[in-house]
Amino acid sequence: MIMAFKQAHARISRLDRTLMMVVVLLSSIFPVELFSNTVPAPKGVDGQYSGKQGQVLVVKVKGEDQATEVKGTFLKRTIPFFREFRPGEPAGYVGLLGIDMQDEPGTYELAVEVKQGEKAKQLSFNILVAKENFLVEHLTLPKEKVDLDEKGAARWKAEQEQVKQALAENSRLKLWHSNFVEPVNGKRTGIFGSVRIMNGKPRNPHNGEDIGAPLGADVAATNDGIVRITVDHIFSGKGVFVDHGLGFYTMYFHLSDILVKDGDLVTAGQIIGKVGATGRATGPHLHWGVKLNGARVNPYSLLDLPFKNGSSPEKTGTAPVSEAMSAP
Ligand SMILES: [Zn+2]
């Protein structure tokens, strides 16, 4: 048994080495380079790149030349790229590709268009979406918090519409400059993407991360941005939506207090509210959500993005213009 195991192990190691060499070779050939955040993105077998449901991939297009626009399309979502300079790295454009928590596992094309004046160059790459094993959560809540009556249902619908309208327009400039910070010091529950069974009935999966913290604890903006809308909604309670530009939003729900107003500019780490239990909540916690070009991604993947320690924002401050993103 032990021998057999050892042999199998040796085979895997050889395969790993071969794969690594293939990846190294491919990345020197292809103009598009992808690297993931946290857990090093598992590389697919034939040089494809991959990430799990809910992860963020950083896509880099190398190029010294200043492009007029660099834009990617992935599963009908538009990924605006922005110019980035990093010491010791070739110049290029970076796009943040969010894999939605419910994107079906499989291989999909990321088509990137690099426009230079009248000319346009097309790049294509395969992205392998891998399955994440989300938890299954059983929750018991007061009936009226789960099943809305007619009035509640109408209110919920109107609130959805209000958010959709508010987020239909987003900043065409990249507003964040520094690393991302955790909005509250607390206990991560690790339930992003969990399948929720409420009072015995399956509901929508959990589209953010809940962080347990005492009532009234400070809630900070994860990065620079503009407060797009503040709400007091039936499910999310008192909430803040921050627009970080280029189709990138973060959300902070169930607050006891909101300390910012619609249209306020906020900076990374600025206190925007206090932890509460408003809306559909069983106790004080922060629901932290992220929407990246329409994809619902794990907010903790932001903390691992390689923007730490001074990836310098472009001095001119002009990000490539992108199409206005579709509503969440
Ligand atoms: Zn939540």
Higher pLDDT, 139 or 39: 139
DSSP, res 312: B
Confidence tier at 288 by pLDDT (50, 70, 90): very high
* Span 220-256, pLDDT tens digits: 999 999 999 999 999 999 999 999 999 999 999 999 9
CA of 184 to the centre of ligand 1 (A): 14
126 residue type, one letter: N
Q: What local confidence, expressed as pLDDT, does residue 73 receive?
A: 96
Rounded to the nearest angstrom, the distance between the alpha carbon of 289 and the centre of ligand 1 is: 8
**What spacing in Å lies between the alpha carbon of 209 and ligand 1's midpoint?**
6
Model pLDDT, residue 308: 57
CA of 194 from ligand 1 middle (Å) equals: 10
pLDDT at 62: 81
CA gap 40, 20 in Å, rounded: 13
Please report the DSSP string for 72-100 in residue order. Answer: EEETTEEEEEEEEB-TTS--EEEEEEE--
Percent of the chain past pLDDT 70, that is, above it, reads 78
pLDDT tens column, 41-74? 444 444 567 899 999 998 888 877 788 899 999 9
Q: What is the mean pLDDT of the chain?
A: 81
Q: Please tell me the distance between residue 245's alpha carbon and the centre of ligand 1 in angstroms.
A: 23
CA-to-CA dists, residue 71 to 43, 56, 128, angstroms: 23, 17, 19
Q: How far is the CA of 42 from the centre of ligand 1 (A)?
A: 28
Task: Give percent of the chain with pLDDT exceeding 90.
Answer: 53
| Residues 203-222 pLDDT 10s | 889 999 999 999 999 999 99
| Residues around the ion ligand 1 (C-beta < 5 A) | 210, 287
Listed in sequence order, the residues at least 6 apart from 218 whose beta carbon sits closer than 8 Å to its beta carbon are 184, 271, 274, 275
How many whole angstroms from 49 Cα to the centroid of ligand 1? 30
pLDDT (0 to 100) of residue 168 = 86
Query: For the residues of 251-273, what is the DSSP string, one character each?
Result: EEEEESEE---TT-EE-TT-EEE
Q: Where do we find the tokens 């797009």?
A: 228
Neighbours of 156 (CB within 10 A): 14
What is the spatial distance between Cα 209 and Cα 299, in angstroms, rounded to a whole number? 7
Per-residue pLDDT, 39: 40
- What's the distance, CA 101 to chain centroid? 10
Q: Ligand 1: distance of its center to the CA of 150 in Å?
A: 24
Where residue 20 falls (left for φ over 0; alpha for ψ -120 to 50; beta otherwise) is alpha
Question: How far apart are alpha carbons 160 and 21 in whole angstroms?
Answer: 48
- Cα separation, 246 vs 80, whole angstroms: 6
**Cα-to-centroid distance, 270 and ligand 1 (Å):** 21
Centroid of chain to Cα 222:
12
Q: pTM of the prediction?
A: 0.78
- Lowest-pLDDT range of 43-57, 144-158, 185-199, 283-297: 43-57
Q: How far does residue 54's CA lie from ligand 1's centre (Å)? A: 15
SS in 3 state form for 20-35? HHHHHHHHHHCCEEEE
Model pLDDT, residue 296: 97
Q: Are 101 and 132 in contact (CB under 8 A)?
A: yes
Q: What is the distance in A from the centroid of ligand 1 to the CA of 208?
A: 6
Give the model's confidence band at 106: pLDDT under 50 very low, under 70 low, under 90 confident, else very high. very high
What residue type is assigned to position 158 of the chain?
A
Report CA(228)–ligand 1 centroid distance (Å): 20
